[in-house]
Amino acid sequence: MIVLMNSGTDNELKEHSRFFEASGLRAYTVSTSKGPVTTFMGPDHAGLEQLPKLSPAFQCMQPSVPYVLASKTIKDTPTVIRLANGTSIGGKDLVIMAGPCSVESESQMAEAARAVKESGATVLRGGAFKPRTSPYAFQGLGLEGLKMMRNAADREELAVVTEVMDPDDIPVICEYADILQIGARNCQNFALLKKVGKTGKPVLLKRGMMTTIEEFLMAAEYILSEGNMNVILCERGIRTFETETRNTLDISAIPVLKSKTHLPVVVDPSHAAGNWKLIEPLALAAVAAGADGLIIEVHPTPETALCDGKQSLRPDKFASMMEKINQLYSMMATHRS
């Protein structure tokens, strides 16, 4: 159930807010092409029998899709997420997030941050808490890793994106990160999604390995429904019968998502490929398909990496790829104008 305030005064909004809240509806204010719109949303069974008696400024409607806040049903303008270092995600610029899979040392992070910044990245990625298939694999440095990444990022004026696995870690991660990442394995961990939604921090939500696009958008809806509209969708490959790549990058997901949601869409070709040699062509394809950004694994010495070395680019390879990506994006911008 959606109650949309098309017009009316602040007094009308205040007058009816208590009624809506008592009926189980929650208020959301979103930007649209016609200006800010206040929407009250709740379950279909909310007691709204008195709705016809309300001001004509309010309109009751049934959503056409289950992911209401994520869709363009109400918000028909693209969401642009702005970070403290000036980075805009979802705007006219292509955002590049880059760095190692996991934080390993101060020197590693310092070198990685310097290299990705020189090539055009504005967000430093890295894992301090690592979800691994094997319980015996490197699990990350935890709090110490967060501090190393933050220090390296601050020296280069980069923002930080890092993964949240445990709800108990959210407060400390919020201290050090600009963007909270929800990994593919937790894409439908609804309790975790609700908790990161309550933080108000930008959230990078990765698509699950076997998650449909509708399920992906419904996962985003859990975050949005907590009042956090700063969600970034990340296509990182899905699991298919193919064994030549780690996952299968769903390029078609980019234009499909763009047609269905106002949320920015970034692509992770590193996890899709599982092989550094495939990252560049997949990244170029993602940009050509309309992605708002890329998240790339870059490691100073991939052969010594404690995690995902085979799918990490060396800084020189990353720099070479970025030259081609910038040329492509400039050409596309010229064509659009």
Cβ–Cβ under 8 Å, residues 195 and 229: no
327 pLDDT exceeds 50? yes
End-to-end CA distance of the chain: 40
Name the CATH code of domain 81-336 (choices 1.10.8.350, 3.90.1150.10, 3.20.20.70, 3.40.1390.30). 3.20.20.70
Q: What is the pLDDT of residue 156?
A: 98
Domain ranges of the chain: 2-61, 81-336
251 pLDDT exceeds 80? yes
The per-residue pLDDT for range 137-166, each reduced to its tens digit, is 777 889 999 999 999 999 999 999 999 999
The per-residue pLDDT for range 201-247, each reduced to its tens digit, is 999 999 999 999 999 999 999 999 999 999 999 999 999 999 999 99
H/E stretch holding 4 reads: strand 2-5
* Nearest C-alpha neighbor of 159 from the set 201, 208, 210: 201
Domains 2-61 and 81-336 share a fold: no
Q: What is the pLDDT of residue 39?
A: 81
122 pLDDT exceeds 60? yes
Cβ–Cβ under 8 Å, residues 77 and 33: yes
Q: Mean pLDDT across the stretch 89-102? A: 95
**Dihedral angle at the C-alpha atoms of 111, 114, 120, 126, nearest 10 degrees?**
50
Instruction: Residue 303: count other Cβ atoms within 10 Å of its Cβ.
Output: 9
Q: Mean pLDDT across the stretch 161-187? A: 96
- Sorting pLDDT into bands at 50, 70 and 90, what band is 253? very high
* Nearest C-alpha neighbor of 43 from the set 59, 58, 29, 62: 62
DSSP classification of residue 57: T
Q: What is the pLDDT of residue 216?
A: 98
Hey, what CATH class is 2-61 in? alpha beta
